[in-house]
Amino acid sequence: MLSHLCLPIGMPATDLGKLDDLVKDRVRVEKGRPLFTLGSELDAVYAVRFGSLRTQLEQSEGDLQITGFHLPGEIVGMDSIGQHRHVSSAIAMEDSEVCVIRIDDIDRVGRLLPSLQSQIRRLMSQEISRSQQMLLTLGSMRSEQRVAGFLLNLSQRLSTLGYSSTEFILRMSREEIGNYLGLTLETVSRLLSRFAREGIIHIHLREVRILDMAALQQVFGQEC
């Protein structure tokens, strides 16, 4: 595993060494505590080393939208670069550790290592693409497609990290899933129960086992 290097997945090995320069500090965040909050000052982005976080936008008066769940190897905070203050909050869903990547250091190291700049661009571009994929989900998919897509996406990312793609623990509550997917917690619960009744998955609280990946993909991809 590369995770000891605190690096985003997919960075070419040739550049790995120099990147250690970027990571000076690590920070631990306890379950439920924020890594940063809306409006706080910003000078860094963070690579998740272990654990998991959620990021969320906060609108006036309790209106809240979860914009992502972040697993090890993923970068948090790229929506606020170039602002003076964070435009979102990040909260640990379990005890976690992140590597601090200071913006100033990106510039400094980037001068010596031009390919770093393009790597950063690539990661930011992926984040744009990821959000836009979510727009498609929220804008034009039905509830069952959203939940199926959510499970498939988690499965795929966990498998990239070396975990099982068919058996895992949800780190987030039904309410958090619902908020992320633009649904209520009841709808999420009902759909998970239905998938289980149909033999597509097995679910007990936060333990998930995918029994029929193809069926799940079919639910996700189905027209109408």
Task: Give the residue, chosen from 175, 202, 212, 215, that forms a contact with DNA under the rule CB under 7 A.
Answer: 175
List Cβ<8 Å contacts ≥24 apart for 138-147. Answer: 138/181, 138/182, 143/181, 143/183, 143/187, 143/191, 144/191, 144/194, 144/219, 145/219, 145/220, 145/221, 145/222, 146/181, 146/182, 146/183, 147/177, 147/181, 147/183, 147/188, 147/191, 147/192, 147/195
Between 71 and 191, CB nearer to DNA: 191
Based on the shown chain and the rule CB under 7 A, indicate whether residue 200 belongs to the binding site for DNA.
Answer: no
* DSSP designation for 51: S
Q: Please select the residue that binds DNA; options are 118, 193, 217, 222, rule is CB under 7 A.
A: 193
Smallest gap from residue 69 Cβ to DNA (A): 14
Q: By CB under 8 A, name the binding residues for a second copy.
A: 57, 59-65, 67, 78-83, 87-88, 103, 106-107, 110-111, 114, 117-129, 131-136, 138-140, 179-182, 221, 223
* Binding characters for DNA, 134-163, by CB under 7 A (x = yes): --------xxx-------------------
Q: Which is nearer to DNA, 75 or 192 (CB)?
A: 192
Q: How far apart are CA 183 and CA 168, in angstroms?
A: 22
> In the complex with a second copy, which residue's Cβ is closer, 78 or 203?
78
